Every structure is written in C-alpha cells, then in structure tokens.
Amino acid sequence: MEKQTIQPFLTVANYHLIEQQLNKILNALATSNDNNIIQAVRGIVDTEITANITMTTDETQLIEQLFSVTDRAQGEAYLVSLKPYVIPFKTVTASNIKSLFKKEKKFKLPALEELDFQHICFLAWDDLGTHRKYVIIEQDDKLKGIKGTINNGTVKGICAICNRHADVALFTTSVKGKIVGTFTSHSNYICADSQQCNQHVTDIHKTIEFFDRITQK
C-alpha cells in the first residue's frame, strides 16, 4: 500500500507551542535525574499538546516523536523535522500592504524579504518616525490590517497578545464610532518587540480575538 504523506497541519502558533513544550522536557532532563519527574513532565506536555492541537492518528504519531527526544541536539532536529508540516502565514506583498492601509499616504513598509513566513503568526512592524505600529493578521483566510500608535516608554507587564511577562508598551488603536465623527479608542500593553511577541504566541485564536476586540466600534 502506498504510504500516505501528511499534509501541513500545524499553525505557526501550534509550532511555537510544541517548541515551548519541548523546552519544558529539555529543562527537566537538564535539571533532574529522577525518571519519575521526567515522565511527569512528559505527561504534562502530552496533555497540553493534545488539548490545543487537533490531530489525526498519523499526525499524533509524528508529534509524539517529541517524547523520545533526550537532548537539545535531538530537540533541534525534531523541530526541523516538523517544519514541512507548518502552514506558513499567507504571502504578503508590498501591494497587498498598500491596499490594506489605503488611507496611509506615506508609510514605512516592512522588510518583507527578511521575513520567515513559517515563523510568524501575525505580521507587525513599526514606523519609528511616526510612532505607528502596523499589524496584519489572517482571519477567515483573509488579511486584515490594523494600525495603532505605540508609546515610547516600556514597562514590565503582561502582553495582551502573547500573554507573557515582557517589556511592554502602550498600543492605542482608534476606530470610527457608529455616530459620524466619533471615535472609540482602545489602549493595551503589548510586547515592545513584536518579533519576540510572535515567537511567544501559542494560541492564535486568542491573538485574533484580541485584534477583533480592539477594532470594534
């Protein structure tokens, strides 16, 4: 019988979750010789992954290779082996971006050629000159652009996007209200470094919910 190949099934956020869980196992292996503890951590990781990623039997078998990882080199090889199964972020071109932000007259575009679309859950970049932050997310297979201002100063706090403790800055978005001439503003603390924030997103639904919330009238 012909072997069925597994199609890409992991979102970038799923991949980040697996990476994070793998680190839990590697830390347990590095700090403990007690097999019971290591097995307990593997159990926690298993629960965390199955609770967050829906998988077929074949996909589960692939992901479960995680439990035979015993050192960092194997861990890295395992992550590399998962890459073909990651669904990359939709390809974004400069003209896509211009049409998403039609009202922006002059603005800085992100360095698209430097981006690894297999590693981003959302696309964000800053225009330091205007203190603007631009974000593009994928929602219902479409791209959505969000524009906001970002405060200069950073504080330690919880990021509204990735929910991690980090250096955060106040991000303010403003949307037209239902009554002409009115605006609704939303201010939230988010990671000052959007690239790091991206790496910490392990649940894309929460991230999309956040952007939905701040773009509501």
Contact code string over 149-178 relative to Zn ion, x by CB under 5 A: ----------x-xx----------------
Dihedral of alpha carbons 50, 69, 26, 16, sign: negative
> Between residues 21 and 194, which has the closer beta carbon with respect to Zn ion?
194
> Between residues 136 and 162, which has the closer beta carbon with respect to Zn ion?
162
> Between residues 108 and 206, which has the closer beta carbon with respect to Zn ion?
206
Tokens for 57? 């039997």
> Between residues 22 and 191, which has the closer beta carbon with respect to Zn ion?
191
Please report, as residue ranges, which positions from 179 to 198 form the binding site for Zn ion (by CB under 5 A).
191, 197
Please report, as residue ranges, which positions from 101 to 160 form the binding site for Zn ion (by CB under 5 A).
159
CB of 200 to Zn ion, least distance (A): 6
CB of 166 to Zn ion, least distance (A): 6
Tokens for 49? 């992954």
Closest CA to 139 of 20, 11, 49, 52: 11
> Between residues 96 and 163, which has the closer beta carbon with respect to Zn ion?
163
DSSP-assigned letter for residue 80: H
Largest CA distance in the chain: 66
Secondary structure class of 180 (helix, strand, coil) = coil
How big is the site for Zn ion, counted in residues (CB under 5 A)?
A: 5
State how far the Cα of 63 lies from the Cα of 61, in Å rounded to an integer. 6
CB of 17 to Zn ion, least distance (A): 15
> 124 with 109: CB under 8 angstroms?
no
List contacts with Zn ion (CB under 5 A). 159, 161-162, 191, 197
